[in-house]
């Protein structure tokens, strides 16, 4: 059931710039919320609002607003649990903005603008590199990332089960030996 929802989420994500029916956006919203709630976010302890408030802000800023462009968060979604990392990074950004607001004088706007532009360019470059890596990787690499490295809790598969289930040759032990 969760895997079917993940596949539906990925399909809706891929065509979100073409979604026009309210029920499709509603379904996408609910699926994103379900995935995000799988994760653990210690950053929430330092933020004043509820997780639901931050999920809504995340969806507005990183899903709806980026649906039209290939900006950070606007590209491909190869596995649903990547949203957990995207959301965690979103929370970290909020904490940094709050910290910066409380520590920096207001007359440093030009420096902030240059720093933000530089950070945005770097994030865009990292996102492009990650997309290129995933697109040029063998299928097992995406499975490894989606089902082992980037999964949490019960969703995470041990490498032995991953290798058995998807018939992947296991060379992991050689990397640590």
pLDDT of residue 110: 57
* Structural domain includes residue 130: no
pLDDT of residue 114: 67
* Structural domain includes residue 170: yes
Listed range (30-34, 48-52, 58-62, 90-94) with the worst mean pLDDT: 58-62
Tokens of 144: 């490894």
Q: What is the pLDDT of residues 83-111, one digit of tens each?
A: 999 999 999 999 998 887 766 555 555 56
pLDDT of residue 71: 47
pLDDT of residue 55: 92
What mean pLDDT is reported for the chain?
Answer: 78
Residues 100 and 152 in one domain: no
Give the domain extent around 150: 137-177
* Structural domain includes residue 39: yes
Band of residue 72 on the pLDDT scale cut at 50, 70, 90: very low
Residues 159 and 84 in one domain: no
* Structural domain includes residue 126: no
Higher pLDDT, 24 or 3: 24
Tell me the CB-side half-sphere exposure of residue 177, using CA atoms within 13 A.
4
Residues 75 and 4 in one domain: yes
* Structural domain includes residue 27: yes
User: Domain total for the chain?
Assistant: 2
Decide: helix, strand or coil at residue 120. helix
Share of the chain above pLDDT 90, in %: 20
Residues 38 and 90 in one domain: yes
Q: In the listed set 53, 87, 104, which residue is the last one of a domain according to the structure?
A: 104
* Structural domain includes residue 119: no
pLDDT of residue 92: 93
Backbone φ and ψ of 71, nearest 5°: -95, 180
* DSSP string across the chain: -HHHHHHHHHHHHHTGGG--SHHHHHHHHHHHHHHHTTS--GGGGGSSS-HHHHHHHHIIIIIITTTTS-STTSS---STTHHHHHHHHHHHHHHHHHHHHHHS-GGGHHHHHHHHHHHHHHHHHHHHHHHHHHHHS-HHHHHHIIIIIS--GGGPPPHHHHHHHHT----HHHHT-
pLDDT of residue 54: 92
Residues 16 and 89 in one domain: yes
pTM score > 0.75 for this model?
Answer: no
Residues 15 and 97 in one domain: yes
């Amino acid at each position: 059931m969760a895997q079917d929802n993940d596949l539906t989420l990925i399909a809706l994500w891929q065509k979100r710039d073409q979604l026009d029916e309210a029920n499709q956006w509603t379904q996408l919203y609910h699926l994103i919320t379900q995935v995000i709630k799988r994760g653990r976010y210690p950053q929430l302890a330092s933020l004043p609002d509820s997780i639901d408030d931050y999920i809504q802000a995340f969806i507005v800023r990183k899903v709806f607003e980026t649906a039209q462009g290939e900006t950070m968060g606007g590209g491909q979604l190869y596995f649903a649990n990547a949203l957990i990392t995207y959301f965690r990074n979103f929370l970290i950004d909020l904490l940094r903005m709050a910290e910066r607001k409380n520590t920096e004088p207001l007359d440093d706007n030009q420096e902030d603008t240059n720093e933000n532009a530089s950070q945005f360019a770097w994030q865009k470059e990292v996102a492009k590199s990650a997309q290129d890596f995933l697109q040029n990787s063998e299928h097992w690499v995406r499975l490894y990332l989606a089902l082992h490295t980037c999964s949490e809790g019960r969703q995470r598969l041990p490498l032995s089960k991953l290798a058995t289930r998807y018939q992947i040759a296991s060379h992991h032990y050689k990397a640590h030996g």
